[in-house]
Amino acid sequence: MENFVVSARKYRPATFDTVVGQEAVTETLKNAIRSKHLASAFLFTGPRGVGKTTCARILARTINCEALGDDLVACGKCLPCTTFDEGHSLNIFELDAASNNSVDDIRNLILQVSIAPQVGTKKVYIIDEVHMLSQAAFNAFLKTLEEPPSYAIFILATTEKHKILPTILSRCQVFDFRRIQLADITKHLAFIAAKENIEVDQQALHVIAQKADGGLRDALSIFDQLVSFSGNRLTYQDVVKNLNVLDHEHYFTLTDSVVKGDVAATLLEFNNVLQQGFDGHLFVTGLARHFRDLLVSQDPRTLPLLEVSEELIERYGTQAKITPRELLIRGLDRLAQCDAQYKQSKEPRLMVELALMVLCRLGAPDTAKEAPPSAEKKSPDVTPAPTKAAEAVRAVAAEPPPRTTEAYVPKRRMLPNQVSIKATAAAATDEAEMATLDTDDGPALTNAPKEVNASLLVRVWNEYALAKKREGKNSLHATLSAMEPVITGPSAISFAIVNDVQEKYMREEKPVLLGYLRNQLADPALQLEVIKEEIVVKPRYTKQDRFNLMAEKNPALLKLRAEFDLDLG
């Protein structure tokens, strides 16, 4: 145990060729060394664990080697190489700016820079986490960084480039390190596993790479942790168990149930996930990613975007063939809304279950698949319902329903074809609401105009207004709550405003509001018309005006006023 060294240190790259996933950076540095066009200051920036400090050490060691070959690999035998390997190099200095960030620390560094190298030709100063330096320390460092001695080279490393002063950036050659690709991390982990005589599943390594999110050091730390748990045999089940990762099997099984429109099986699978201790939010984001991967698998041109193991590619391709594209697209939209609203919901499990019910409705055979245009001509056995629905969808897609002037509601007077939301909501029953949520017997979700459910509309409208209030948009909340929406016909509602300020709010919010209403009411053809009412201002009469009006009706008042010399008090 005393001799154990973590993989991140044991297998740390020692040459440019062994650096993983940063070919653009390493090739540029090698060409600069060959042509002897090295800058005096470098800035290495990028996410954690992608090789910034490693490349800085390799660069420092390479330029100090006294017997450097054509392959730019340090000899490891000269005095600069041996002292570096032993950890007491006289030419390479490392400073951790996180704990040495004061002006005095930088002044001590400047004093060291003034001393010429005793061994080799270059003195290299590696400053890690340079963004942690104080403002005064940066200013003290500026002059030395701009005009260093010919033998001094500074390599600055940071994860937060935006915190570096522009005056520092302008004096450095900036190298941006990218996140390491999943394939590169998986390949490197497989190499280490082979070196350590550890038997691993390829799919297990892929999950580790995904969990590391582009950081090789994080991937190696996770790998060491899992090897400590499982020993010399690392399986996919060990990985998903220890990393709190949902098995792909859950998503494949649930998607099959969604495509069949089987609500019961879908809810049972979700309950199984919750009973295993997984968070519902994690399930929603994982299912959305599964739908995305299925959508990517449907077109050979987008297959390179599929970041899964080789074992899963074929399975994704098989399921993608039986999953309608429309289901995946609309399902991703519904899951994105569920993801955004999950933390604010008081009943998150119910919200996820409702989303799954909607997905089942979209995936049911009678709703996900439309009849072809020539279905009626080809076979007399085809039932007319799907054909009519498909024709209605095409008609609405080709030409949106026309708007008529009858939809305008001046001064809130109800027209014969309008329905008051409050009156209808008061008379609605719980059974009517349940009918709108029925996923087994409900009508297909098409773009054909349909009757708007009044009670559901008022609830959805009020929820949207309250959500805007929670976001701090009090004026928009007041605008939405000032009036009630009015049903003007099939798939048509109107909303009245009274001033220019409300008109501005509604003009900006209408696209988002309409999309929300269409999704929540399951009515893609829904139209919202914003009507600006004219407020009739009654004239204000003076006392003299009122007397003149009365005198027109009764002229005797004029005679009475003259005889008694009356005034208008």
Find the CATH number of the domain harbouring 330: 1.20.272.10
Choosing from 213, 242, 271, the residue where a domain stops is: 242
- Which positions ≥6 away from 63 have C-beta within 8 Å? 33, 38, 122, 124, 153
Q: What is the pLDDT of residues 483-506, one digit of tens each?
A: 889 888 888 899 888 888 888 888
**Does residue 155 sit in the same domain as residue 16?**
yes
- Note whether residue 376 is domain-resident: no
**Does residue 419 sit in the same domain as residue 525?**
yes
CB-CB contact of 300 with 231 (8 Å)? no
Of 54-68, 464-478, 552-566, least confident by mean pLDDT is 552-566
Three-class secondary structure of residue 527 per DSSP: strand
Q: Mean of the pLDDT values across residues 401-405?
A: 41
**Does residue 296 sit in the same domain as residue 216?**
no
Choosing from 125, 154, 176, the residue where a domain stops is: 176
Q: What is the pLDDT of residues 256-291, one digit of tens each?
A: 999 988 899 989 999 988 888 888 898 998 899 999
CB count within 10 Å of CB 20 equals: 19
Q: Which two tokens stand for residue 477?
A: 């909340």
Query: Does pLDDT of 527 surpass 80?
Result: yes
- Note whether residue 499 is domain-resident: yes
Three-class secondary structure of residue 420 per DSSP: strand
**Does residue 152 sit in the same domain as residue 129?**
yes
**Does residue 206 sit in the same domain as residue 300?**
no
Report how far apart, in Å, the C-alpha atoms of 291 and of each of 172, 325, 523 are.
Answer: 44, 10, 22
**b/e 382-411 (16+ beta carbons within 10 angstroms → b):** eeeebbebbbbbeebeeeebeeeeebebee
* Residue that the structure tokens 């390599």 belong to: 155
Query: CA nearest 47: which of 224, 165, 185, 217?
Result: 217
CB-CB contact of 33 with 62 (8 Å)? yes
Count of the separate structural domains present in the chain: 5
Q: Mean of the pLDDT values across residues 516-535?
A: 84
pLDDT score of 425: 45
Structural domain span for residue 221: 182-242
| pLDDT greater at residue 401 or residue 460 | 460
Cα–Cα distance measured from residue 80 to residue 89, given in angstroms and rounded to the nearest whole number: 7
Three-class secondary structure of residue 547 per DSSP: helix
CB-CB contact of 358 with 346 (8 Å)? no
Of 51-60, 302-311, 334-343, least confident by mean pLDDT is 302-311
pLDDT score of 392: 42
- Note whether residue 519 is domain-resident: yes
**Does residue 24 sit in the same domain as residue 109?**
yes
CB-CB contact of 520 with 481 (8 Å)? no
Of 147-151, 231-235, 299-303, 439-443, least confident by mean pLDDT is 439-443
Q: What is the pLDDT of residues 210-265, one digit of tens each?
A: 888 888 888 888 888 888 887 788 888 888 878 877 788 888 999 999 998 889 99
pLDDT score of 13: 86
**Does residue 501 sit in the same domain as residue 483?**
yes
The conformational region for residue 375 under phi > 0 = left, psi -120 to 50 = alpha, else beta, is: alpha
Q: What is the pLDDT of residues 76-131, one digit of tens each?
A: 788 888 888 887 788 888 888 888 888 888 888 888 888 888 777 888 899 888 88
Cα–Cα distance measured from residue 156 to residue 55, given in angstroms and rounded to the nearest whole number: 11
Q: What percent of the chain has pLDDT over 70?
A: 83
**Does residue 11 sit in the same domain as residue 154?**
yes
**Does residue 168 sit in the same domain as residue 197?**
no
Report how far apart, in Å, the C-alpha atoms of 494 and of each of 123, 428, 452, 556 are.
Answer: 75, 20, 12, 53
pLDDT score of 366: 56
Choosing from 176, 207, 228, the residue where a domain stops is: 176
Query: Does pLDDT of 380 surpass 70?
Result: no
- Note whether residue 400 is domain-resident: no
Cα–Cα distance measured from residue 269 to residue 254, given in angstroms and rounded to the nearest whole number: 6
Packing angle, helices 216-230 and 182-195, rounded to 10 = 40
- Note whether residue 491 is domain-resident: yes
Average pLDDT over the chain reads: 79
pLDDT score of 429: 42
pLDDT score of 569: 64
- Note whether residue 481 is domain-resident: yes
Specify the pairing of strand 486-489 against strand 492-497: antiparallel
Q: Which two tokens stand for residue 283?
A: 């399930």
Query: Does pLDDT of 565 surpass 50?
Result: yes
Cα–Cα distance measured from residue 273 to residue 252, given in angstroms and rounded to the nearest whole number: 13
Q: Mean of the pLDDT values across residues 361-374?
A: 56
pLDDT score of 231: 79
Packing angle, helices 454-470 and 430-437, rounded to 10 = 80
**Does residue 424 sit in the same domain as residue 483?**
yes
- Note whether residue 391 is domain-resident: no
Q: What is the DSSP letter of 497?
A: E
Cα–Cα distance measured from residue 55 to residue 529, given in angstroms and rounded to the nearest whole number: 61
Question: Which CATH number goes with the domain that contains 215?
Answer: 1.10.8.60
* Residue that the structure tokens 């739908």 belong to: 291
**Does residue 260 sit in the same domain as residue 235?**
no
CB-CB contact of 417 with 490 (8 Å)? no
| pLDDT greater at residue 370 or residue 240 | 240
Q: Which two tokens stand for residue 121?
A: 């030709």
**Does residue 198 sit in the same domain as residue 282?**
no
pLDDT score of 267: 92
pLDDT score of 417: 44
- Note whether residue 565 is domain-resident: yes
| pLDDT greater at residue 448 or residue 449 | 449
Packing angle, helices 52-64 and 23-35, rounded to 10 = 20
Report how far apart, in Å, the C-alpha atoms of 86 and of each of 11, 27, 67 are.
Answer: 17, 27, 18
